[in-house]
Structure formats: structure tokens, C-alpha cells
Structure 1
Amino acid sequence: MYTTKNKRWIILISVIFLLTACNRAPNAATKPQQTPSQTPSQTQEIATSEPTAVVAQTPGSTEQPIEEGMPPTALEAATTVMRAIKDGNMKTLAAWAHPQKGVRFSPYAYVDTLTDLVFTREELEGLMADSTKRVWRTFAGSGDLIEMTFAQYYKQFVYDADFFQDAKIALNKGLGQGTTINNLNEVYPEDSYDFVEYHIDGIDPLNEGMDWRSLRLVFEKIGEDHALVGIIHDQWTP
């Protein structure tokens, strides 16, 4: 038979057990919530993924520099050689010279294999600074000797017009035709040689085309490669 005191103890112990059970139950109000837009796997992927590299592009820089093929075509070789001629870069010009045959310089369309001067790679590199006067054949019309240093000849019978910027360009096709015989394909047969012609119809409109200029770069085909063997100047002649 319980006494009143025992009943109080029993009630107190029951209350303690009840409070303990409530404290151990999970609290729904504090449970972490996931956003509707991210699953647990997505959250982990964003945290562990590395940043993506971004390549900056400069506006207007879409044009890529022109590069020579390996081996270069005749047109590609001619572009490089003509740039060297324009700049007076004798080192680059010499590098393109045929290793055995060198480069022959012809002041007019007719190539004279007996009298036109030929220079090796080694000679070409130092020619611009060479003060030696040489006979480069005779002037058309007067017949006077073309007696000049290389620098003088270069100015009058190589780059005497802006061929690099202003000329029409043709591969294995003549554009300028004067009174001088053009024997290019006889000296340099087309089965073994390519030539690229740079032609300007006229420099001064008042001359009505009588001041046209051409420069022909002749390359020997060596397999698929090309080596410079001739620089032929041409112009209107009386």
C-alpha cells in the first residue's frame, strides 16, 4: 500500500523520464534545408570543381600572320624574298640563294648567261656595303655601260618601284612586255623552274604607261622546295 509520499516520488520520476525522452527527439525546426535548385551532388560538384581558364581576345585581332608552308610554295617564297628586297635585307636574300648556282642579276628581260653577274650566298650578304663598281651590261637605247656599285644597281634595276605594295603578281606568267626579248623560259625551263612576276602598269599617269616596271623572281625546284636563282628586272625600253 503506497503512501502519499511514495506517490509523489513516482510522479516526479515519471516527469523526469518524459523530459529526457523529449530532449532526445530530433528538432524539425533546426534541420538543414536544401535549396530547390541544388541537389547534394550538385553542391559537392560546385565546391570541388576547378575554375575554367578564359582566353582573352583583342577586338579586331582576327587576322593571323601569314606563315610559309614547309616546304614553301613558289608564291610564299617570293613573298619572303620580295620583303627582304624591299627592306634591303641581304642576309635573308642570301639565305634563299641557290647553294651551288647563286643568284643571277639581269637588268632587262633578256637573260644573258654570258655577261649577267652571278653572286654566291656568301658574296650576297656583303654586297650592299661593297663599293666596287661592276659592269652590269649596257643601257638599253644608249648602249652605255651599266657601271655601278651593287647599291646603285639595286636602286635602279632591282627595287626601283614599290613592288611589294603596288604590284600585280602572277605565277609562271608574264605581265610586262616591252621591246626587249624575254627568254626567261629558255634559260629557266618551266619543268625545273618557277618564276613569280611583280608588275606595275605605270608610276606616273602623265607617262601613259611608258614607265611600267616588272621584277621577276626565278626559283629552281628542288624536290618540293625552292631556291632563288635569278632576279630579272624589266621596263619599257625604246
Structure 2
Amino acid sequence: MKKAVLLLSFLAVVSCKKNPEKFVNDKADSAKASQTEKVQETSVAIDKETALKAANEAVLQALHDKNYKRFSEFIHPEKGVRFSMYAFVSPEGDKLFSKSDFIKYQPTKTIFTWGLLDGSGDPYQSTITDYLIKWAYSKDFATGQVSINEFQGMGNSLNNLKEIYPKADFTENFVKGSESNPEMDWKCLRLVFEPFQGKYYLVGVVNDQWTI
């Protein structure tokens, strides 16, 4: 047994002496491969961030311009888009539109119930257009501070976005409050995106603000 071990050791040494560069190159190739993987991961992360920022900017511009035909192009083809009045996303209570229904009803005066108002508990009812103008884009969020997958607005209502959309990415467009009101009149608009056939589509439009 000892002879066998010694023989294997001897062969390994001889092999190393015959081709020492092979072992060095193996280590170098392994290091290069690891470095390449890190570069690729960084590149993917940068590309993803760029794509999300571009999608966020395009959606905000459509809302700012009241170009709802353009906005509808970002609605997820299969999942549609859910509108949440506050940070707490309610799959049962929030209004969900397929792309076709949004296109059908947006130009009309059809009244929808979007949720319950904080404080009074009264239902908030309006047309799609009024909701987008008076609630979803009640501030010029295009001028706000943008973050990706990070919350800036921290209110006193439960924020369950990540639980409801565990596989999605989101942008947050945060508008600071006024100094005269201890900055408690801040508002933010979160746009929730999921990829589909190589493009990011909206699955959620979530507003948040300080609640009573």
C-alpha cells in the first residue's frame, strides 16, 4: 500500500515537472473564468437598471402628457395592471384591468371603485382618466427622486409590495413634502414591472403617502 502511494506521488511530481505550465494555466483560466462571470453579472445588472429606468421614464411621460394610448402599451399582455391607492396592495380590493379592458373603458365615463379612502373609509369612485389625473399622477412624479427596488417613502401604512409581487422589480418616484408641513405631505408613485418576451411591462401602479 505504501509503495502504491509513493508511486502515485512520484508520478504526480514527474507529471508536474514535464508540464508545469499546464497547472499554472489551469489556475489562470479558472481565475479568468471567474472574472468573466463577475463582469457578465455586472453587465446584466447595469442593463436591467437601464431598462427599468427607461420604462419608468416612458410611463411617467405618458401619464404627464395624458397619453393613455401610450400608457396602455406598457400594460402586461397576460397579467394586466393593478392600481393600488395606498402602499398596502389588496389583490381582492384593488382595481385590476387587462390591457383590452383599459383601452375599452379609458375613454368612457364609466365609474369604477378603486378602493377605500383612508380616514373616512368611503369608496373612491371615478373614471379611469380621473383616477389617473387626480390620484395616480396627482404630483409631477417625473421630477421626483427615482430609486429601483428601494423604498424612500416610509409612511404609517403597511407596505406589502414585495410580498404581492415577489418576482417583480419596481421603481419609486418620490416627491418630498413641504417644510411647512413637517414634510409629511410627501407622495410617491411606485411602478411595478415584470419581464415578458424581452420587455418590461407594468403589473402594478402603487401610490403611497402619509395616512391618518
- TM class by shorter chain equals 0.7 to 0.9
Q: Is the 8 A contact 1:213 1:234 kept in 2?
A: yes
Q: CA deviation at 1:195?
A: 0.2
Partner of 1:74: 52
1:81-119 alpha-carbon deviations (Å, 9 max, x no partner): 111111111111111110011110000000000111111
Partner of 2:179: 205
**When the two structures are superposed, what TM-score results if normalisation uses the length of structure 1?**
0.65
| AA in 2 matched with 1:148 | S
The yes-or-no answer on 1:225 pairing with 2:202 is: no
| AA in 1 matched with 2:63 | I
Measure the CA separation in 2 of the matches of 1:126 and 1:176: 33
| AA in 1 matched with 2:55 | A
1:163-186 alpha-carbon deviations (Å, 9 max, x no partner): 112x00000001101111000000
Aligned counterpart for 1:193 among listed residues 168, 173, 183? 168
Gaps of at least 5 residues in structure 2 are 1-46
Partner of 1:175: 152
Partner of 2:136: 158
| AA in 2 matched with 1:200 | V
| AA in 2 matched with 1:207 | N
Partner of 2:74: 96
Partner of 1:23: none
Q: Is the 8 A contact 1:176 1:213 kept in 2?
A: yes
RMSD in angstroms over aligned alpha carbons? 1.8
| AA in 2 matched with 1:174 | F
Partner of 1:215: 189
> How many residues were matched structurally?
165
Q: CA deviation at 1:224?
A: 4.5
Measure the CA separation in 1 of the matches of 2:65 and 2:154: 27
Q: Is the 8 A contact 1:200 1:212 kept in 2?
A: yes
**Radius of gyration: which is bigger?**
1
Q: CA deviation at 1:126?
A: 4.5
1:204-232 alpha-carbon deviations (Å, 9 max, x no partner): 43222121000000001336531111100
Measure the CA separation in 2 of the matches of 1:197 and 1:103: 16
| AA in 1 matched with 2:155 | G
Q: CA deviation at 1:127?
A: 4.0
| AA in 2 matched with 1:97 | I
Q: CA deviation at 1:129?
A: 2.5
Partner of 2:23: none
After TM superposition, the structure 1 = structure 2 runs for residues 1-238 of structure 1, keeping only pairs within 5 Å, are 73-165=51-143, 167-189=144-166, 192-202=167-177, 204-222=178-196, 224-238=198-212
| AA in 1 matched with 2:58 | T
Measure the CA separation in 2 of the matches of 1:181 and 1:188: 15
Identity %: 36
Runs of 4+ deviating beyond 6 Å: none
Q: Which has the higher helix share?
A: 2
Q: Is the 8 A contact 1:130 1:149 kept in 2?
A: yes
Partner of 1:36: none
Residues 223/126 of structure 1: CA separation in 2 closer, same or farther (3 Å cut): closer
Measure the CA separation in 1 of the matches of 2:130 and 2:69: 18
| AA in 1 matched with 2:150 | K
